[in-house]
Amino acid sequence: MAQARRIGEQGRYELIEEIESGGMGTVWRGYDAVLDREIAVKLIRPDVVTTPAQAKEFTRRFEREARVTARIGHHGVPQVFDAVLDEASYDRMYLVMEYVRGISLRRALTGVGDGAAVGLPVSWAVSIAAQICTVLSYAHAIPVVHRDLKPDNILIATDGTVKVLDFGIAKLLGTDVTRLTATGNVIGTSLYMPPEQIDNAQITPLSDLYALGCVLHELLSGQPVFSGDSDYQLMAQHMGAQPSPLRTLRSEVPSDLETLTLDLLAKAPEQRPADAYEVYERLSPHLPPPGSAAAPLVLIDGGSPTGVPDPTLVYRQPNAPLRRTIPAAPQPAPSVPVPVPERADTALRDAVRDAYARSADLAENGRFAQAADVLKAVIATAASVLGAHNPRVLGLRRQRAAVLMAGGDFRRALPEFDSLAAVYARTAGPADENTLECRRHAAHCRANLGQATAALQEFQEVLEVVSDEDGDASETALDLRRSIGVLLFSEGRRSEAEGVLDALHDDMCVLLGEDHEETREIADLLARLRDPEGPRPS
């Protein structure tokens, strides 16, 4: 396995994969080794820095992004956790940011990869625009102007939250307004650029509202406000052409949304809405109310792509908790083993061995989230080569579930143990050792998630099978009896707990001895049951 790139003091930040490359830098998905969390790391591309002036420009842009993000302080802007901004060492200049899982608004507008421009349902478009307004209201209060608002800089996270990215070229009004371009080029994107920005006139929060109007027009119609073969043509239209009313492009758009979009696209800034809050208020009648049902993502071209997070969720279920029910892990379809070339099998064996070793090392250092992801990465490859039910694939999945459980991520470990138990029961039988072990771990997860009744039932069902096979005094049976007794105790079922633990203590005295650590632990529990206020055994 190739050595991962590390940056920061003592190699704190580990770079896993490059996820984006732009004109000035690259963005990597990585891990913070201290906090064991996924991060995004923005790095300067050394090859684009050819002069001290460029180094200074990029340093200031990174510094500005870090400071603006910190000052905005809104969940709709990915947070910056760390920044190294020494222009003398620009090859080591970086930002460490919140890693957001989701898709860009650009991908949503192109049918998630099918290439055809589409418009979103009205409730989706309005929900996205309203969330952008919220972010802009916080930024403009500083005041900060984004200056490059466009679908590429807007992300829909998996929970439906809209994130506004790239405040690196933002302008802090009333402070240092030196241009952030060494070439004198206009900053921004011609499809979404307000006339005053094209004309190098005064940039204000109203400039962002024009760009928002361009985005809203595209959300509802599926096409940009203006089109052309060159930036010059596009800029000329922004300066002098009138946009097409939305209802001529899509008749079901409400008339007041058409009016709002045209107001946002006014050539003169003073003719636009007063601020982002006013825009939000004019959008709000079209937001889905709390408790309303989800609107299906049916595009205006009739398609229905998958994988686009629902931006209406934050309005339909505001501040909602995690789902109560835990979906079962997907059951892979049975696969027919295929011959594996020796070279591929050798490479796979090496990859699996390295993943086990790397995961074990990470888990030993308390980095359970990354340890689980290391295994997850090789599971997909192994399953595609060997088949989903190959023993090596199942072993990798068991190890990953065990790592998740060790790290306290019972919510993700449970469906994996349930799925594995079902596979083992189907292929090896309900009394198979692997089946029972996975069921036992699933019961532990349920207990830790507060699902006491289900956990007790599963513990007891597994104990019945184990007792039939090996008796009540086997190591596994003793562990199950202890789990049942402790869970009954924690649920306040004191008499039942005492009966289970008393019998367990008698057996442990015979098998392990009265002074054994585990025997004394059960004795302590019994003492607490019989006299909650009394002294504890030493």
Q: What's the pLDDT score for residue 297?
A: 76
Q: What's the pLDDT score for residue 111?
A: 64
Q: What's the pLDDT score for residue 176?
A: 37
Which CATH superfamily groups domain 340-449?
A: Tetratricopeptide repeat domain (1.25.40.10)
Mean pLDDT by 10 residues, the chain (538 residues): 75 91 82 93 80 77 83 91 73 85 89 58 95 96 92 93 87 48 56 91 92 96 91 93 94 96 96 97 96 78 68 92 56 49 72 91 88 90 90 93 91 93 92 93 90 91 90 88 88 87 89 90 87 58
pTM of the predicted model as reported, rounded to 2 decimal places:
0.71
- Mark 279-306 as b/e (b = at least 16 C-beta within 10 Å): bbebbeebbbeeeeeebebebbeeeebe
Q: What's the pLDDT score for residue 3?
A: 61
Q: What's the pLDDT score for residue 180?
A: 38
**Residues 62 and 83 sit within 8 Å (Cβ to Cβ):** yes
Neighbours of 109 (CB within 10 A): 23
Q: Residue 485's closest CA among 513, 447, 511, 514?
A: 447
Q: Is 342 helix (H, G, I), strand (E, B) or coil?
A: helix
- β 25-32/37-44 pair status: antiparallel
Q: What's the pLDDT score for residue 118?
A: 63
- Please give the CATH number for the structural domain made up of 101-176+187-318: 1.10.510.10
Sorted by sequence, the CB contacts under 8 Å of residue 368 that are 6+ apart come out as 36, 362, 403, 404, 406, 407, 408, 409
What whole-number distance in Å separates Cα of residue 22 and Cα of residue 252?
38
- 470 carries an active-site annotation: no
Q: What's the pLDDT score for residue 300?
A: 56
Fold of 1-99: Phosphorylase Kinase; domain 1 (3.30.200)
What whole-number distance in Å separates Cα of residue 473 and Cα of residue 509?
11
What whole-number distance in Å separates Cα of residue 289 and Cα of residue 111?
26
Q: Which of 36, 47, 148, 275 is catalytic?
A: 148
